[in-house]
């Protein structure tokens, strides 16, 4: 119990301690918090397209320059992902998310008073972007720790918060702009985003006691101290071996051996039974950020998938309203198209979570199928004509986007990628790699639109990135299989070397030393059992 208390001893936090992953409990409250955080982060980012034409008219800027607002925001959000991981491991998820909520709200409120697009770059791009990172990533990470069997389904359902936000925010903000203007509408959105801070207060850290005991390799000092005290009470030591006390009754009487040969005890410290370390808590060895995942070829391929797939995540939501307006569709009907896309994304996320929750299934292959179908949806947009044609494409795209967007980060916890043990660091590195695409995606689409004078070209660039992402995703499983075979061969080689190794050198023919040697061998035998 002392070990558990020390492992979770952080300011302003109280941990939930379980003997195994609860698959529920306080996790349902964390899932609700993630739902709201999704709505107030990605939901607002995807709804930002309703301000697009207003900003172009107010600041007299081009599509490309206005697109840089969200581009910088997404870049900062993803580029600072390792910082979010480090701060979460140092101060806990709760404080980090609460601080992120304050930054998000502050940036959006200040942006409502901006006088140029450069002011928007700083407020929404940098300030709110950093807040989005500190809010979203720790929330999805701690939610994955509360669930195991239901992880895919719960994460997918909770991630629908952004879809409901787009569905409700797009028409609401559009109507609000008609009444009070875009500036006060943006101010209202900033005040609403203070809800992220309230959600952050619900994120209690979780401690799995059995995993802590298995992971912590206990030093033998606590056991040695115990038997040294025993020896002091029985007046037994290495010098009083001849007192008649049987040395084998105290298997760790080797502290006398430790005095003579301190280096010989090092190998035994790593083989000690972890159950015996309850008297002295081990020192925490958690790394703030583990870049060892970069040596995993399957993770590298998965990171490149995220890099290129990000090109197709945000641009369609930003350009669907300008595309509909260019086709002669009114403001109200354009907002309905964006809302329909959000509704379809809800069903896509729930469907993906339900499918991935099935046991006999390889989740990485299901993700690959969804990415391929999402690429087809992006290609279909330029061929749409009229309100209903664009509506059908939007619904299809929204459904397929939901199957990918709601699962690509939680899939890091699967053994095909990195596993739940390294998910926290892997998520930070993964989102960090996505930052390049988040920075280049919307401006690239904006440049193509300004060059071709056609909004359809933006969707072609998104489709190209998604196809490249599908190619790298297809390589994840083969890379993981190859690494596993290599690891098994390495283990087999070590076993062969250990079996062929000769016996240890003979000890000197001294009665006391031979008895100590026997005691040491018997102690090792009991440890191995």
Instruction: Give the pLDDT confidence of 305-327 residue by residue, as tens digits.
Output: 888 888 777 667 778 878 888 88
Q: Residue 213 — pLDDT band, cuts 50, 70, 90?
A: very low
Q: pTM score, two decimals?
A: 0.60
Range with the lowest mean pLDDT among 275-279, 302-306, 492-496? 275-279
Q: In whole angstroms, give the CA distance from residue 210 to residue 217.
A: 13
Same domain, 182 and 309: no
- Buried/exposed 140-166: b ≥16 CB within 10 Å, e otherwise: bbbbbbbbeebbbbbbbbbbbbbbbbb
If asked whether residues 199 and 327 sit together in one domain, one would say no
Both 180 and 304 in one domain: the answer is: no
Higher pLDDT, 494 or 75: 75
Residues 6+ apart with CB under 8 A from 115: none
Mean pLDDT along residues 124-135: 92
Does 101 fall in a domain? Answer: yes
- 357 shares its domain with 472: yes
Task: Give the number of domains in the chain.
Answer: 2
pLDDT in the model for residue 124: 93
| 316 and 438 assigned to the same domain | yes
Q: Look over the chain and give the mean of its residue pLDDT values, rounded to a whole number.
A: 74
CATH assignment of the domain containing 344: 1.20.1250.20
Identify whether residues 293 and 145 lie together within a single domain. no
Question: Are both 204 and 60 inside the same structural domain?
Answer: yes
Q: Is residue 520 a part of any domain in this protein?
A: no
User: Is 174 in the same domain as 317?
Assistant: no
Q: How many whole angstroms separate alpha carbon 405 and alpha carbon 202?
A: 24
| pLDDT at position 95 | 92
Range with the largest mean pLDDT of 48-62, 308-322, 417-431, 439-453:
48-62
The pLDDT of residue 19 is above 60: yes
**Residues composing the chain:** 529
Lowest-confidence range among 127-136, 472-481, 520-529? 520-529
Residue 362 has pLDDT above 70, yes or no: yes
Residue 528 falls inside a structural domain: no
Average pLDDT over residues 126-135: 92
Higher pLDDT among residues 187 and 434, named by residue:
187
509 within a domain of the structure (yes/no): no
> Domain for residue 519, yes or no?
no
Whether residue 296 is found in the same domain as residue 435: yes
Evaluate whether residue 500 is within a structural domain. no
Which of the pair, 149 or 401, is modelled with greater confidence?
Answer: 401
Among the three residues 210, 228, 244, which one is the final residue of a domain in this structure?
A: 210
Which positions ≥6 away from 29 have C-beta within 8 Å?
Answer: 202
Whether 206 and 294 share a structural domain: no
* Angle separating helix axes 81-91 and 93-111, nearest 10 degrees: 130
Judgement on whether residues 169 and 35 belong to the same structural domain of the protein = yes
pLDDT at 131: 93
**Residue range 360-367: average pLDDT?**
79
CA proximity to 254, closest of 241, 273, 270: 241
Instruction: Please identify, among 177, 210, 243, the residue that sits at the C-terminal boundary of a domain.
Output: 210
Q: Assess if residue 246 is contained within a domain.
A: no
Q: What is the dihedral of CA 236, 242, 247, 250, to 10 degrees?
A: -10
Q: Is residue 219 part of a domain?
A: no
Is the domain of 68 the same as that of 180? Answer: yes
Among 22-31, 98-107, 420-429, the range with the most confident prediction by mean pLDDT is 98-107
Distance between CA atoms of 232 and 246, rounded to whole angstroms? 15
Residues 6+ apart with CB under 8 A from 5: none
Q: Which of 210, 243, 259 is the last residue of a domain?
A: 210
Domain extent for 420: 289-493
Q: What b-and-e string marks burial along 23-58, b requiring 16 or more CB atoms within 10 Å of the CB?
A: eeeebeebbebbbbbbbbbbbbbbbbbbbbbbbbeb
Which parts of 121-275 fold into alpha helices (H)?
129-146, 151-158, 161-192, 195-200, 209-215, 221-233, 255-260, 266-269
């Amino acid at each position: 119990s002392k070990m558990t208390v020390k492992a979770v001893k952080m300011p302003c936090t109280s941990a939930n301690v379980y003997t195994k992953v609860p698959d529920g409990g306080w996790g349902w409250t964390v899932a609700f918090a993630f739902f709201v955080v999704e709505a107030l982060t990605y939901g607002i980012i995807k709804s930002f397209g309703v301000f697009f034409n207003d900003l172009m008219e107010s600041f007299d800027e081009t599509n490309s320059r206005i697109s840089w607002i969200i581009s910088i925001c997404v870049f900062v959000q993803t580029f600072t992902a390792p910082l979010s991981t480090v701060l979460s491991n140092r101060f806990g998820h709760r404080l980090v998310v609460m601080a992120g909520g304050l930054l998000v709200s502050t940036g959006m409120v200040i942006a409502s008073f901006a006088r140029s697009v450069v002011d928007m770059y700083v407020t929404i791009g940098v300030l709110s972007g950093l807040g989005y990172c500190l809010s979203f990533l720790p929330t999805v990470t701690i939610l994955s720790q509360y669930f195991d069997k239901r992880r895919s389904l719960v994460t997918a359902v909770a991630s629908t918060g952004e879809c409901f936000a787009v569905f409700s925010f797009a028409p609401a903000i559009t109507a609000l702009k008609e009444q009070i203007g875009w500036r006060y509408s943006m101010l209202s959105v900033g005040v609403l985003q203070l809800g992220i801070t309230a959600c952050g207060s619900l994120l209690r850290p979780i401690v799995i006691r059995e995993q802590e005991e298995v992971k912590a390799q206990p030093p033998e000092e606590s056991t040695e101290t115990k038997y040294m005290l025993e020896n002091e009470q029985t007046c037994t030591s290495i010098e009083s071996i001849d007192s008649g006390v049987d040395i084998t009754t105290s298997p760790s009487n080797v502290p006398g051996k430790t005095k003579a040969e301190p280096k010989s005890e090092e190998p035994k410290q790593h083989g000690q039974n972890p159950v015996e370390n309850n008297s002295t808590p081990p020192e925490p060895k958690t790394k703030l950020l583990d870049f060892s995942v970069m040596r995993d070829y399957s993770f590298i391929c998965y990171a490149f998938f995220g890099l290129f797939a990000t090109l197709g995540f945000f641009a369609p939501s930003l350009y669907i309203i300008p595309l509909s307006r260019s086709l002669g569709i009114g403001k109200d009907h354009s907002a309905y198209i964006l809302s329909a896309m959000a509704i379809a994304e809800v069903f896509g996320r729930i469907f993906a979570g339900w499918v991935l929750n099935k046991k006999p299934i390889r989740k990485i292959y299901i993700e690959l199928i969804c990415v391929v179908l999402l690429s087809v949806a992006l290609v279909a947009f330029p061929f749409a004509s009229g309100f209903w044609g664009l509506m059908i494409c939007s619904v299809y795209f929204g459904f397929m986007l939901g199957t990918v967007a709601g699962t690509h980060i939680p899939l890091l916890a699967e053994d095909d990628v990195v596993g739940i043990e390294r998910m926290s660091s892997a998520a930070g590195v993964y989102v960090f790699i996505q930052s390049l695409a988040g920075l280049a995606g919307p401006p690239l689409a904006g440049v193509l639109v300004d060059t071709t004078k056609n909004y359809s070209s933006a969707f072609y660039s998104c489709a190209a990135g998604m196809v490249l992402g599908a190619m790298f995703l297809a390589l994840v499983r083969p890379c993981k299989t190859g690494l596993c075979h290599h690891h098994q061969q390495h283990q087999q080689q070590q076993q062969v070397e250990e079996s062929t190794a000769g016996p240890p050198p003979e000890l000197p023919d001294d009665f006391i030393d031979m008895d100590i040697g026997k005691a040491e061998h018997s102690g090792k035998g009991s440890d191995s059992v």
